[in-house]
Chain A
Amino acid sequence: MGSYRMDVLVCGGTGCQASNSIDVIETMSKEIKAAGLEKEINLVTTGCFGFCEQGPIVKIQPDNVFYVKVTPESAAVIVKEHFVKGRVVKELLYEEPKTRKKLEEQSDMPFYKKQERIALRNCGLIDPENINEYIAVDGYQALGKALSEMTPEQVIDEVKRSGLRGRGGGGFPTGTKWELTRMSKADRRFIICNADEGDPGAFMDRSILEGDPHSVLEAMAIAGYAIGADSGYIYIRAEYPLAINRLKIAVKQAYDMGLLGKNILGTDFSFDIHLKYGAGAFVCGEETALINSIEGGRGEPTVKPPFPAEVGLWKMPTNINNVETFANVCPILLRGADWFASIGTEKSKGTKVFALAGKVNNVGLVEVPMGTTLREIIFDLGGGIKNNRKFKAVQTGGPSGGCITEENLNIPIDYDSLTEIGSMMGSGGMIVMDEDDCMVNIAKFYLEFTVDEACGRCTACRVGNKRLHEILTKITEGKGTEEDLERLKDLSQIIKDSSLCGLGQTAPNPVLSTMKYFWHEYLAHVNDKYCPAGVCKALLKYHIIPEKCKGCTLCTKVCPKGIISGKLKEAHVINKEECIACGACEQVCKFGAITRM
């Protein structure tokens, strides 16, 4: 191994690959060779840095320079300027939107400043396809420690004391889950890693698997040791090809190194890991549905109890944790339960990864201590609302969660506080909405998702949620009545009460929470046939402000219905009856004379 004087870390996550990071890596590699620097500079493809909005990301160490939005062309410039001449390429630095200052170091950026990375600790730091790098950052030490210095009970106790709770949405205490599975009498037990990430907008599990797959494998083996399982399954959606590929490489490397398989690290403990591919059905994130799917059946939930900890895969006790939960396990074992428990709030320990999306400046993945406020996440890390629009609400918990408004932005968030204000942690999706978002439409959007993703097994969800969606559609089309609002509320409650699984039970949450906080918007749609955000097309009417209209006739030329009339240089008029609200006139008007009402 040569001695490199410089590490160049280029993001190879799905997000950055989508913005061409593969070409960046290729160009860089070529240019480094051309400059004769290949023995001095180590080009590393890493996992996701989280700052997807600014991708592709290139980080230079030890110089600690963070380049954003790197193109193949600018990659060549970095080589020539930075690598050869030692000059930082200022144009490629991140510019803080408020101060317009170029920031050189990652740690200076508001996006990273408040982050505390435990689950994402190795993402963007190591080459996920090289097990040696994982070993170099204490990889498999936690497994080694567990196997040689701890009893299974001690491992469970450590996880219990850490206060780690399930990161997939439920928030069930992980150590307790392990203990319950261990206590179920059986000949065999299984570990399942739930990598069937399905919330729209959430991609932390994918990022962890892409950026640090070994951390999950190691934690699964530790869980296997703790509960007495000799094999584990990773249930991953087939739409995650990169994560699957990296997992495959990682599993092979771990087997080759004797870190999986028979007699791990010379002990009596053996553990196998198998990959199972899901077809990407949201409902398969539900434990019993996931188990049915692994067994080759239809991905449909079954009645609980019995819980998988008692009767799970192949009818054996099975412990299911999601990817992010597993990613927290090794640090807990290495740094101790007390360290982990010192982070976070009273009942929610450690950190949580959120996928920040929607109308926020810094879209991406952030990991913050439990107890951080939504305001900090959205306005500090997220850099505030795009285009200086006004914040309206943030949806947490994906389609199963609810929306949170301005008044609750200062609440330190954890599992319990979010539930209290009518939303939920979920898997950590966070979609920010501004004043241009119609909340009725948002509720409809989420419901459409769950209606599409429902398994169709139980009446409450299959027909009930469909009917909810139909009522919402009716309202957004301006055909709703106050009676419909009553129906919406009633039916939502009943579905929550009556559905077989979590998907159905939580599907009406977006409806209930938007009704709670934005009742006036519902009323406006129903009574005034008016969409305050101007989103619902059927309720939109365009209007020309006579004072502003110069009579340029441009709008008459683009109107597809030909219903704008008026003489040259005189104020024009739109025939509202026939207007289809396509918005073409508004877009072309140079005088701001056309408004929605």
Chain B
Amino acid sequence: MAGIKSLDELKALRDKYKSSVEMRSSTDEENRVRIAVGMATCGIASGSRETINAIVDEVRAQGLNNVSVVQTGCLGYCYAEPVVEIRMPGKEPVLYGNVDSKRGREIVNKHIKNGEVITDLVIERSRC
């Protein structure tokens, strides 16, 4: 392995590897965006694994480092699986249904990056 020749090279290397450990730190929890993908049997059956992996990939590709992508159990909307819940700091959670990998990437780009809610995917929560 070639040695690191300068502080700048070291910094570049740090930035390259940063994302690989980013999700481990649980500090700054309140300011994080949390994307939860339903990964119960119903979700997996409808392809939620592809969805979650696409979302993770897109988050990394866009260099979003304040986003946690987690899996969650059944949210009770089995008819609309794969289901994805977005929690942004200080905002009401938004629930999307029928999210395939393509739409997952779209959510990342539109909702997470630009704050645009993709209305046609939103599932209205039954309020109780």
Which A residues are closer than 8 A to B by beta carbons?
1, 3-7, 9, 40, 42, 61-64, 84-87, 105-107, 125-126, 132-133, 135-141, 144-145, 147-148, 256-259, 261, 265-266
Contact B4 A257 (CB under 8 A): yes
Contact B4 A265 (CB under 8 A): yes
Choose from A7, A140, A256, A265 the contact partner of B1 (Cβ within 8 Å). Answer: A256
- When C-beta atoms are compared, the residue in chain B nearest to A36 turns out to be B49
A3: B residues at CB distance < 8 A: 53, 56-57, 60
- When C-beta atoms are compared, the residue in chain A nearest to B43 turns out to be A86
Contact A87 B73 (CB under 8 A): yes
A145: B residues at CB distance < 8 A: 7
B39: A residues at CB distance < 8 A: 84-86
Contact of A7 with B24 at beta-carbon distance under 8 Å, contacts A86-B73, A133-B17 already known = yes
A147 to B6, CA, bound (A): 10
24 A-B residue pairs with Cβ-Cβ distance under 8 Å, sorted by A, are A3-B53, A5-B53, A5-B69, A5-B71, A62-B23, A62-B70, A84-B44, A85-B40, A86-B38, A126-B21, A132-B17, A133-B20, A133-B21, A136-B14, A136-B17, A136-B20, A137-B21, A138-B14, A140-B10, A144-B11, A256-B3, A257-B4, A266-B5, A266-B6
Q: How many A-B residue pairs have CB under 8 A?
A: 113
Q: Mark B27-65, 1 if CB is under 8 A from A, else 0.
A: 001000000011111011000010011001100100000
The residue among B17, B44, B52, B60 with the most chain A CB atoms within 10 A of its own CB is: B17
A80 to B4, CA, bound (A): 42
Nearest CB of chain B from residue A198's CB, rounded to whole Å:
33
The residue among A106, A140, A145 with the most chain B CB atoms within 10 A of its own CB is: A140
Counting CB contacts under 8 A, is B98 at the interface?
Answer: no
Q: Kindly identify, within residues 45 to 99 of chain B, every residue whose CB is under 8 Å from any CB belonging to chain A.
A: 49, 52-53, 56-57, 60, 68-73
A147: B residues at CB distance < 8 A: 7
Nearest CB of chain A from residue B22's CB, rounded to whole Å:
8
Counting CB contacts under 8 A, is B18 at the interface?
Answer: yes
A9: B residues at CB distance < 8 A: 24
A62: B residues at CB distance < 8 A: 23-24, 68-70
Contact B3 A135 (CB under 8 A): no
Counting CB contacts under 8 A, is B126 at the interface?
Answer: no
B73: A residues at CB distance < 8 A: 85-87
Count of chain B residues with a beta carbon within 8 Å of a chain A beta carbon: 40
A72 to B84, CA, bound (A): 32
Counting CB contacts under 8 A, is B26 at the interface?
Answer: yes
A86 to B51, CA, bound (A): 14
Choose from B3, B9, B21 the contact partner of A125 (Cβ within 8 Å). Answer: B21
Counting CB contacts under 8 A, is B117 at the interface?
Answer: no
A125 to B23, CA, bound (A): 10
Choose from A7, A87, A107 the contact partner of B23 (Cβ within 8 Å). Answer: A7
- When C-beta atoms are compared, the residue in chain B nearest to A136 turns out to be B17
Counting CB contacts under 8 A, is B25 at the interface?
Answer: yes
Nearest CB of chain B from residue A346's CB, rounded to whole Å:
28
Contact of A135 with B20 at beta-carbon distance under 8 Å, contacts A40-B53, A145-B7 already known = no
Counting CB contacts under 8 A, is B118 at the interface?
Answer: no
The 5 closest A-B pairs by CB, nearest first: A258-B3, A86-B39, A62-B68, A86-B71, A136-B17
Contact A61 B24 (CB under 8 A): yes
Choose from A1, A86, A144 the contact partner of B72 (Cβ within 8 Å). Answer: A86
B41: A residues at CB distance < 8 A: 85
A261: B residues at CB distance < 8 A: 3
Contact of A257 with B23 at beta-carbon distance under 8 Å, contacts A4-B56, A86-B38 already known = no
A141: B residues at CB distance < 8 A: 7, 10-11, 14
Contact A61 B26 (CB under 8 A): yes
- When C-beta atoms are compared, the residue in chain B nearest to A122 turns out to be B21
A42 to B23, CA, bound (A): 11
